[in-house]
Structure 1
Amino acid sequence: MTQQTVAMLGTGKMGEAVLAGLLRSGRSADRLLVTVRRPARGAELTEKYGVTVVTTAEAAERADVLAIGTKPQDAGALLDEIRPSLAPGKLVVSLCAGLPTSFFATRLPEGTPVIRVMTNTPALVGQAMTAISPGAHATDEHLAVAEQMFTPLGATVRVPESQQDAVTALSGSGPAYFYLIAEAMIEAGVLLGLPRQVAHELIVQTAIGSATMLRDSGDHPVKLREAVTSPAGTTIAAVRELEKHGVRAALLDALEAARDRAREIAGQAL
């Protein structure tokens, strides 16, 4: 894949993270193209990464892989722009939340392979969770290309496209849930009399350590939680309050709401 030219169409924070990952994986900057709305943004990316800024039509003509990183509501107009210049066999990789591969298939030349991707913001620090799904015309070879693109950003997993809305709810939006919980715990630390910086450091390292144990131990979360929960101790008193206030049920409802919103976005775009 390192000999293929990749164009990032719509280079916001996530698109920039993909660019940085491709460069870390050994791809030459002269094999990377970007499109931008603002010339200042283009100059910034060229100075920082050495990539070439092109028009949308040029990207479609020159690139082997087109990564679509626009907002979902802007994707239709972008596809209308690139369709006349898109030669058969070029791979389209969509980072547009909520949009099914069928959205692209009806707007691009017949047989265009499309891969749907849902990643998350920890891509910015090389710790993303990325789910990859093939469209109707995508082969295992196309999936491998997409995996090579996103592996430098963190972990990747292949899922059926029917599961992508659930992925969006769980890991795509997931960092926000953890940040909200961390924010609440830091505030609780301040309430309990700790300096804010100390509370912040305690919670951040606790989160890192807990996530590492969850990843590396292979144990179920229940087993890890029970190891901290002594009979009649402080932790079980806190867990009782969390259960009393319906934290578990609230999370279930929240993820269902996120999944339903992903479906709504797709419905509005189609």
Structure 2
Amino acid sequence: MNKIAIIGAGSMAEAFISGILENELIDRKNVWVTNHSNKERLNSLRERYGVSSTYDLNVLFDGADIVMLAMKPKDAATAIQAIREQLTEHMLVVSVLAGVSISTIETLARKPLSIVRSMPNTSAAVGKSATAVAMNQRVTNEQVEITRNLFGTVGLTTFVEEKQLDAVTGLSGSGPAYIYYLIEAMEKSAVEVGLEKEMASELIVQTLLGAAEMVKKSSKSSTQLRKEVTSPGGTTEAGIKVLEENGVQQAFISCIKAATAQSKKMGTALRSQLETADQPS
């Protein structure tokens, strides 16, 4: 990787800038970023990370072998229209745009490109994203390795078929919010049973970290691990019984299915919107 040009300067772009520099994947002077018009945001990123920014597309793309699309998905048509002349076949185009398919990017670019489409989540901000990545057939073996290294700077990377990305969105893309929702419930219950909020929050976070590490490192299934904690007649059994009576597990299953269906629906609508916006007036 010689130079990366990032189009868009939001939180996800910043997560990648931070990850790239922390992991010394590329020299900061070769990390370039731009956005539509928010100069204050670009100044902030320059000051915080020492990266480069410009609105001159010739300067931005000169020598760039990686182009990251990190604008808002609804702005993809306008942004790709603006840069399509600078995009070349040797570049690897990396998209973190939710719901924007590889074929839509190809249609908007109006030329054959090596394209990687990804679904990171907000935990990229702390280097703990669970990211799924799909790519088209033009991506070379060298570019696959570059992709692996790039997304490795913000967490775990899994390569999937593009058709699986809606399911990934419903599971891990939206997943942090489900966990935050669970934490909210645990915090409320802790207060109701007489614990101080700050102390309860520390206990809850450590409990979740410990449980996640057990699932990660143990050869046992999550079901086995749960059963080992659940002694007959004990406190855990009493709690699990209430969860089962209230259909909590099925609610989570339905939640992920609903999010997956919504991802498909939004992707279809967004594709139609973007390709319509790209038509000559």
Name the TM-score, length of structure 1 as normaliser: 0.95
**What residue identity is the alignment partner of 2:135?**
P
Measured in 1, the distance between the counterparts of 2:134 and 2:72 equals: 19
The secondary structure found in structure 2 opposite 1:194 is: coil
- Name the structure 2 match of 1:20: 18
- Name the structure 1 match of 2:122: 121
The secondary structure found in structure 2 opposite 1:63 is: coil
Cα drift, residue 93 of structure 1: 0.4
Give the unaligned 5+ runs of structure 1. Answer: none
Measured in 2, the distance between the counterparts of 1:63 and 1:79 equals: 16
The secondary structure found in structure 1 opposite 2:33 is: strand
- Structure possessing the higher relative contact order (Cα contacts under 8 Å, 6 or more residues apart): 2
| 1:86-235 map, 5 Å | 86-235=87-236
- Name the structure 2 match of 1:48: 48
- Residues 9 and 56 in structure 1, CA contact (< 8 A), matched pair in contact too: no
Give the unaligned 5+ runs of structure 2. Answer: 272-281
- Name the structure 2 match of 1:80: 81
Q: Any idea what the Cα deviations from partners look like across 1:103-159, whole Å, max 9, x if unmatched? A: 111111432010011111221112111111112422332222111111121111111
Cα drift, residue 224 of structure 1: 0.8
Q: Bigger CA drift: 141-150 or 15-24?
A: 141-150
Cα drift, residue 76 of structure 1: 1.3
**1:202–1:232 Cα change, 3 Å:** same
Number of residues paired by the alignment? 268
**1:56–1:196 Cα change, 3 Å:** farther
Measured in 2, the distance between the counterparts of 1:62 and 1:191 equals: 59
Measured in 1, the distance between the counterparts of 2:265 and 2:82 equals: 25
Q: Any idea what the Cα deviations from partners look like across 1:216-255, whole Å, max 9, x if unmatched? A: 1132100110111000111111111111111111111111
**Residue 244 (structure 1) aligned with residue 242 (structure 2):** no
- % identical equivalent positions: 37
Measured in 2, the distance between the counterparts of 1:101 and 1:155 equals: 22
Measured in 2, the distance between the counterparts of 1:218 and 1:110 equals: 47
The secondary structure found in structure 1 opposite 2:153 is: helix
For the aligned residue pairs, the C-alpha RMSD in angstroms reads 1.4
Name the TM-score, length of structure 2 as normaliser: 0.91
The secondary structure found in structure 2 opposite 1:84 is: coil
Q: Bigger CA drift: 132-141 or 172-181?
A: 132-141
The secondary structure found in structure 2 opposite 1:105 is: helix
Q: Any idea what the Cα deviations from partners look like across 1:4-57, whole Å, max 9, x if unmatched? A: 110111121111010111112221111100013311111111111111112273
- Name the structure 1 match of 2:4: 6
Measured in 1, the distance between the counterparts of 2:210 and 2:234 equals: 21
Measured in 2, the distance between the counterparts of 1:200 and 1:66 equals: 40
Cα drift, residue 77 of structure 1: 1.1
The secondary structure found in structure 2 opposite 1:96 is: coil
- Name the structure 2 match of 1:253: 254
